[in-house]
Amino acid sequence: MDHATKFQKLVQFRAPESLSDAIDAAAGKLLQSKSEYVRPVLDGLVSAARRSNMRADNEQNTKA
């Protein structure tokens, strides 16, 4: 696995202890790891950001 691929699979963030505990509890209810629980949310955010950027690009191209 090259460095770029490895970086795409690794996401780290700082969060209050209470948020970390809440994620652990929610993931545990679904018998998931913290990563398994959070990944779909992050994938959704990335997809939404890409769609937003594409719309902005299309608007810029339409105005030009």
Each residue's pLDDT tens digit, 20-62: 899 999 999 999 998 889 888 888 888 888 888 877 777 777 7
Among candidate residues 14, 19, 52, 16, the one with its CA nearest the CA of residue 37:
19
Q: Is the whole model's pTM more than 0.85, yes or no?
A: no
Q: What is the Rg, in whole angstroms, of the alpha carbon atoms belonging to the chain?
A: 17
Please name the residue that has the structure tokens 């949310």: 41
Determine the Cα–Cα distance for residues 10 and 14; give it in Å rounded to an integer: 14
pLDDT of 2: 63
pLDDT of 56: 75
pLDDT of 22: 93
Tokens of 16: 């209050």
User: Which amino acid, residue 47?
Assistant: S
pLDDT above 60 (res 4): no
**Maximal CA-CA distance, the chain:** 51
pLDDT above 60 (res 1): no
